[in-house]
Structure 1
Amino acid sequence: MHEQNKDGNTEVTFLPAERTFEVLSAEAAGTGVNGIEKNPAVSYLMGLRAESSRLAMRSFLNNIAKMMGYHDLRTCPWGMLERHHVQAVLTMLTDAGKAPATINNYLAAIKGVAVEAWTLKLISTDTYQHIKLVKSVRGSRIPKGRALAPAEVKKLFFTCESDKSAIGVRDSAILSVLVGCGLRRAEVVSLDFAHYNRHNRSLKVLGKGNKERMAYLPDGAFQRLESWVEEVRSDIPGPLFSRIRRYDDVTSERMTSQAIYHILNSRSVEAGIEKCAPHDLRRTFASSMLENGEDLITVKDAMGHASLATTQKYDFRGDERLRAASKRLDI
C-alpha cells in the first residue's frame, strides 16, 4: 500500500494486520467487519479507481451528509435517501451559487451512492429509479484556469535552467513533459523509466480509466528529459522522476502529485509570472496544438479524453479571438 510521509513523498508499506483481505472485502461491500454496518458511500468510493476521483467524490459526499444534518459520509444513513432529499440538495447548491458543473458532480456522487444502496438492498427499486430520474442542471460557466502565453513558458524554463543543481535539471524535464505532452500530474509521477522509449521519443502513459496511451515528446521536451537521464538520473529501473534531498542527493523515491504542484508554484514565483497550476500546462498544451492546426480528435487522443466535449473545454483560443475582435471595433 502507498502512503505519503510528512515530506510528501510516497512510501511503500505493508497493510497493517487489521487491514486484511476480509476487512477490505467487507469495506468494498459497504459493510463493517462484523457485517452489521452497511455504508453504500464507502462502497461507492472504493469502486472508483482514480485517486483524484475518490478524493473529489469523498469531499462531495461529506458535504452532502452535512447538508442532510449528519457529521460525514460514514454517519449519514444513506438507506433513507429519497428523491426529495436529492432535489433539496440540488436546490441548496443552486442557492449557494454553485456552478452547474459543480452541482452535477454532486448529483453524480449521490446517484453513485444510490446504485450501491440499491445493490445492498438498502433502498427499493422504485426509490432508486426515482433518484436516477433526477435531471442534471443545465447551464455553463466560463472555464477556470488559463493557458500560458509562450513568453511565460520560456520564463519557466529559463528559471529552471538557471538553476544548475540536479533539482533544476529535473524540474525542467518535468515541466517539459507537462506542457509538451499535456500529461496530468498524477500521470507524470506514475511514470517509470521503463515507460520511456528513447528511440522513438515517447512515453507510455497510464491515464484515467486505467487506459494506456502514447505521448510523443517534442524536440525541446526530449532534450530536457535526456539531460535529466544522462546528467543526473541514469538509466536504472524505477520512477522516471524521483525525489531529490538537500545537497543534490538524488533518491529512488517516487514523487507525489502534490510535489508537482509545489514545484510549479515555486518556479512560477521565481519566473515572475502569474500564478498557474499543473493543469494550466495541460490547457496550454491543448490550446497550442489547436492553434497549430491539429484537429480536435488528435488533441483528444493526445490528452487521453473519452469525449470531444471534454477536449473542447481546454481550448482557450476563443479568449484571444474575442479580445482581438473587440480591438477592431471602432465606436
Structure 2
Amino acid sequence: MSELMELVPVGGGAVSAVGVRPHELVQLYLATLRTDSGRRAMESALRELGRWLGVGNPYLVNWPGLGAVGVAALLARIQHHQSWQPANKARHEAALLGIMRAAYRAGVLDADTLQRCQSHPRTKVKRRAGHHATGRQLSHDELNKLARAAATLSPHETVRRRDSAFIALLAGCGLRREECLTLQTPDENGLPAHLVVHG
C-alpha cells in the first residue's frame, strides 16, 4: 500500500491537489469528536474494523479505497455480528461512516460514494424504559419535586439554601452544572441582580 492515498475525483471531475495519508485521515476524523472518551471509543471501533480488513491498525487502512461496496460489506458484517449488543453495532457503524465523511471533507472521496455509503440501513438502538436522554429539559412537575426535595432533605439550613439556589440557577438561568459549581461569591452583583459566569 502506498503511503499516500490514491486521489479520487471530486466535484465535477476535479482532483484534490493534496494527498492525504491514511493516518492523517483518522486524525481528521477523531478531531471532530468532542470528548476523549468518544475519540477512544471510535478509534477502538476503527481498530476492530481494520482487523476485519486484515490490517489491524486503523491508521494504515485506505478507508476511501473501500468504496461503497466495501462499506456495504462491512456494515452488513457489523449488523450480523451475533455477540454484539445494538449499541456496540451502532458505534462501529458510526465510526465507519464518520471516517468516510472525513474522507469526503478531505477531498479524497466523492459525494456520490459518500451518499451511497450513508444510504444503508443502520442499527436501531432502543432506549431502556424510564431512561431519559442526557441534557433534556425537566418538566415543571419534575422541577417542583426537585425543589421540594432540596428544601427538605438536609437537616442543615445552609445546605438546603445552597441546594435550592443551585436548582434555581440550573433551571432558571440555563447554566451548565460545571458553570454553576464554579461560581464564586464575587461573581454575584447584588444591585442589578445578575451573575458573571466565567467560561
**TM norm structure 1:** 0.35
Q: Determine the C-alpha separation between the residues in 2 that align with 1:177 and 1:116.
A: 39
Structure 1: gaps (5+ residues): 1-30, 192-227, 241-253, 255-331
Q: Hey, what does 2:85 align to over in structure 1?
A: 97
User: For 1:39, what is the secondary structure of its paired residue?
Assistant: helix
Q: Hey, what does 2:93 align to over in structure 1?
A: 107
1:39 alignment partner, one of 13, 16, 24: 24
Contact 2:23 2:60 in 1 (8 A): no
Question: Highest Rg: 1 or 2?
Answer: 2
Q: Is 2:18 the counterpart of 1:65? A: no
Calculate percent identity across the aligned residue pairs. 13
Residues 86 and 157 of structure 1, relative CA distance in 2, 3 Å threshold = farther
Residues 121 and 45 of structure 1, relative CA distance in 2, 3 Å threshold = same
Q: Give the partner amino acid of 1:97.
A: Q
CA deviation map 1:224-279 (0-9, x unaligned): xxxx98x7753297427xxxxxxxxxxxxx6xxxxxxxxxxxxxxxxxxxxxxxxx
Q: Is 2:85 the counterpart of 1:85? A: no
Residues 57 and 145 of structure 1, relative CA distance in 2, 3 Å threshold = same
More strand by share: 1
Residues 95 and 122 of structure 1, relative CA distance in 2, 3 Å threshold = farther
- Residues 263-302 of structure 1: pairs in structure 2 closer than 5 A: none
Structure 2: gaps (5+ residues): 1-17, 133-137
Comparing 80-89 with 151-160, greater Cα deviation is found at 151-160
User: For 2:86, what is the secondary structure of its paired residue?
Assistant: coil
Q: Determine the C-alpha separation between the residues in 1 that align with 2:101 and 2:27.
A: 12
Q: Is 2:137 the counterpart of 1:145? A: no
Residues 142 and 104 of structure 1, relative CA distance in 2, 3 Å threshold = same
Q: Determine the C-alpha separation between the residues in 2 that align with 1:62 and 1:86.
A: 17
Q: Is 2:118 the counterpart of 1:132? A: yes
CA deviation map 1:275-317 (0-9, x unaligned): xxxxxxxxxxxxxxxxxxxxxxxxxxxxxxxxxxxxxxxxxxx
- Residues 1-331 of structure 1: pairs in structure 2 closer than 5 A: 38-47=23-32, 51=34, 54-55=35-36, 57-68=38-49, 69=51, 70=56, 74=59, 77-81=62-66, 82-83=70-71, 84-92=73-81, 95-99=83-87, 103-104=89-90, 106-123=92-109, 127-138=113-124, 140-143=126-129, 145=131, 153-159=147-153, 162=156, 164=158, 170-178=162-170, 180-181=171-172, 183=174, 187-190=176-179, 233-235=187-189, 238-239=196-197
Q: Determine the C-alpha separation between the residues in 1 that align with 2:167 and 2:23.
A: 44
Residues 75 and 159 of structure 1, relative CA distance in 2, 3 Å threshold = farther
Residues 144 and 63 of structure 1, relative CA distance in 2, 3 Å threshold = farther
Contact 1:43 1:116 in 2 (8 A): yes
Contact 2:104 2:114 in 1 (8 A): yes
Contact 1:111 1:132 in 2 (8 A): yes
Contact 1:41 1:113 in 2 (8 A): yes
Please provide the CA RMSD for this pair. Answer: 4.5
Residues 150 and 237 of structure 1, relative CA distance in 2, 3 Å threshold = closer
Contact 2:101 2:114 in 1 (8 A): yes
Contact 1:118 1:124 in 2 (8 A): yes
Q: Determine the C-alpha separation between the residues in 2 that align with 1:163 and 1:75.
A: 61
Residues 234 and 123 of structure 1, relative CA distance in 2, 3 Å threshold = closer
CA deviation map 1:204-239 (0-9, x unaligned): xxxxxxxxxxxxxxxxxxxxxxxx98x775329742
Greater RCO structure (CA 8 Å; 6+ sep)? 2
Q: Hey, what does 1:20 align to over in structure 2?
A: none
Compute the displacement of 1:114 (Å): 0.5
CA deviation map 1:5-58 (0-9, x unaligned): xxxxxxxxxxxxxxxxxxxxxxxxxx9xxx75653333234345xx3xx45642
Number of aligned residue pairs: give it.
158
